[in-house]
Amino acid sequence: MLTALALAVLQVASPAPVEDSDVTVVARKLENLAIILKRRRGAYYCKYTRRSGDAELDAAACTAAIDCYRGAAKVEDFRTCVVTAVTALVTPSPRPE
């Protein structure tokens, strides 16, 4: 159940691209990312079925999915957390004025 859920959530979690070119590139990379959460000897890890082409982005999405799974009481909590975390990866940081 966890495997299918994590894969499904991460495939639909990538937000629609925004007009900012850097954000659009990251969003497109996230659309290509597909992971499955696995557990071995009590530790969670990601198995990548498709990578985004950006190792740092893949690792950040994996970490977010694992953190969300650990903190979720229900499937909907997990889904909401992953969507929020992935959106944060795409959203540009505010620039100091």
Write out pLDDT tens, residues 12-30.
Answer: 455 554 455 666 777 777 7
Please identify which residue in the block is written with the tokens 């900012």: 20
Segments making up each domain of the chain, as ranges: 2-90
Q: Are 57 and 46 in contact (CB under 8 A)?
A: no
Write out pLDDT tens, residues 54-85.
Answer: 888 889 889 999 999 988 889 999 888 988 88
- Is the pLDDT at 2 greater than 60? The verdict is no
Query: Which pLDDT does position 26 carry in this prediction?
Result: 72
Angstrom distance (rounded) from CA 54 to CA 72: 27
DSSP bridge partners of 43: 40
Q: Output the CA torsion sign for 83, 14, 24, 16.
A: negative
How sure is the predictor about 91, in pLDDT bands with cuts at 50, 70 and 90?
confident
Span 85-94, mean pLDDT?
76
C-alpha 58: how far from its chain's center?
8
